[in-house]
Amino acid sequence: MELCTACIWTSVQWSHTLTPNRRASYHGSTRSISSVSQRRRRSTLCITNAASTSAPASYQSTTQLPRTNGSGIKSISGDKPSSALEQLDIERGVCIPFRKYTPEMVRKKVLDSRGSILSLASRGAEIIWKLGFYWSSLVYDFLVGRDEEIVPYRARQLRNLLCDLGPSFIKAGQVLANRPDIIREDYMNELCILQDDVPSFPNQVAFAIIEEELGQPLERVFSKISSQTIAAASLGQVYRATLRETGEDVAIKVQRPGIEPIIYRDLFLFRTLASFLNGISLQKLGCNAELIVDEFGEKLLEELDYTLEARNIEDFLENFKDDPTVKIPRVYKQLSGSRALVMEWIDGIRCTDPQAIKEAGIDVEGFLTVGVSAALRQLLEFGLFHGDPHPGNIFAMRDGRIAYVDFGNVAVLSQQNKQILIDAVVHAVNEDYAEMANDFTRLGFLARGTDVSPIIPALEAIWQNSAGKGLADFNFRSVTGKFNQLVYNYPIRIPERFSLVIRSLLTQEGICFTLKPDFKFLEVAYPYVAKRLLTDPNPALRERLIQVLFKDGAFQWKRLENLIVLAKENVSKMSSNPALQKNSSQAVRSRQLQSKLDLTETIKDGARMFLIDAGIRRQLILAFTEDSKLHVEELVDVYRLVEDQIDMPSVALEVLQDLPSVARDFMLSWSDSILSDRQY
């Protein structure tokens, strides 16, 4: 969401100085955050089915389903889930037991309301008239041959039209600004303006809503409140206030009045229209138009409920509780409700102001390193990431930390999705473009059964052209531009959560370039990924590490050395970051943990796998003896890279302590192999 829930203390006029009738009861600072898992609590049930990581790499049964440009992609609609929402759950790898949105619930809520038929008819007529007139203008431009030269004007016209049609259409425009599979890039660029430029509603209305949610007058809770909005968005706006009880500064996010019935009515009309467009959508995107509306509606209704945003904040606080480089504002739940949210005020510097950041004495390189690492942790470690990290939602704290605000739009990646993303990275490293294309199917970009062979050459061309430039010239925007052409020309649909991933990476890369034009995003991202591959105890990542180290059956010694060098670089950058230099026990503990590359678990797992897994043992022995020579020199080079990072006596002791368990597993593995041999 585009709201900025905190910003610098600027020249906002404080015209509302409140006098209390009595002091409000307030105990927000003593509230303890309940323990939550590092993955989102609402997504608790895993689905194991055709979309799982063990799914076949390709599906061969196909029928012709070309896109209008004749791309030749084939797709099949067999084995279709019983509903669009079930299909979304399969793609995500999760089951959501309690939903804010279902088509049936929306239909019932709209049709059961008073005067629903008249309201739907008048709103439908308004939408059809305005959109129909715009569409007829596009047709006229095409017929007279001026459709290309007038694109900038028509893009602005579309943006203004969506603003006129209200909050549902503004949100739809914001979504389209990240959907190259649906609209052209020049239109996307114009719709990006909708992220920030939204008019506010009157203060009196906003204050009345806040009082309703508080259940008491404003003056009992706040000693003062800003007379101007700090930020305004399609669904709400933000004020700054001071708590009377504690004197703390807070941000108050308040929802637009009467917005819920408008959203429900428009979602009903969207889905009704989508049912007539399924044929076109299947041809161009490989999925029903209803599925796209369901994705949009589900996310939109989540953003409408500020209690869910409060839960998002708590989850982010839990995820980053041991990270002294990241600041997440706490939420005052006892002062918040479904239409108003009270949060800690973030007194930071906007990321779009490099001069102010430098004047504050903040190390720009260190701050950007912290930001990239925090973004990658959200994406690949927690699976819960900020879906709208535009410059108004990210701040530089004066101690070098990065601060995030506005958690209405967050996205969840299941363990399955995270593993497939890492698979895609591994396949890119190994230049296995056929498997990269299959990863697209497993992630939901392509319909099940799609023939991916026409996409493989396009993926290869995009990656080789971008990666061939090296880290120095690689940037996500150039890759995304080429990828946008790919998804527009083939029946590829970008799932909502991945459109947020793409937007998140692009936005944060743009912030990096604003603050430091020569900043190399991948020079920070690669070391982080290398460190995770080498140190993460997740068995799935261990398997991916092996895939990276072996190519065409040959062990990649140089690749292992590069991974170690990059991982050490990540540890060095993070441990020396100014944000870690605070005199706090948390920072001291973090420096102790991050000062070295901890390979203990990796070495223990490697020893275990060597003893137990005959296939790995055979591969490693071949790696040491391939090309009819012992690779002692390479092994010595690897040891020299890690000898200053590990305490070999301690590691050896831990391996010995683990020996009984390893011996048991070895005996079980050996007995299984003996029994299986006897069966034959």
> 198-201: long-range contacts (C-beta < 8 A, 24 or more apart)?
198/2, 198/163, 198/170, 198/232, 198/233, 198/234, 199/232, 200/229, 200/232, 200/237, 201/232, 201/237, 201/256, 201/257
CA distance 264 to 102: 11
Alpha helices in 151-305 (DSSP H): 151-165, 167-176, 185-191, 203-214, 218-221, 259-276, 278-285, 289-304
- Cβ proximity of 93 and 103 under 8 Å: no
Angle (CA) 503 506 509, round 5°: 145
Phi, then psi, of 114 in degrees rounded to 5? -70, 135
| Residue labelled with tokens 């307030």 | 26
Number of H-type helices and E-type strands within the chain: 28, 18
Angle (CA) 107 112 118, round 5°: 90
User: Is the backbone of residue 228 left (phi > 0), alpha (psi -120 to 50) or beta?
Assistant: beta
CA distance 287 to 28: 47
Give the tokens for residue 13: 């006029």
Catalytic residue among 181, 266, 315, 388: 388
Phi, then psi, of 36 in degrees rounded to 5? -130, 160
Q: Of the candidates 543, 539, 586, 545, which has an alpha carbon nearest to the alpha carbon of residue 567?
A: 545
Those residues whose C-beta lies under 8 Å from the C-beta of residue 507, and which sit 6 or more positions away, are 389, 390, 391
For residue 550, the cross-strand partners are 555
Q: Please say if 388 is a catalytic residue.
A: yes
Those residues whose C-beta lies under 8 Å from the C-beta of residue 174, and which sit 6 or more positions away, are 2, 191, 194, 195, 234
- Cβ proximity of 517 and 310 under 8 Å: no
Q: Of the candidates 498, 326, 509, 302, which has an alpha carbon nearest to the alpha carbon of residue 405?
A: 326
The 8-class DSSP code of residue 249 comes to E
- Cβ proximity of 330 and 132 under 8 Å: no
Q: How many CB atoms lie within 10 A of CB 276?
A: 9
- The CA distances from residue 298 to 291, 293, 378, 386, 464, in Å, are 10, 8, 21, 17, 37
Amino acid at 480: T
Catalytically active residues are: 388
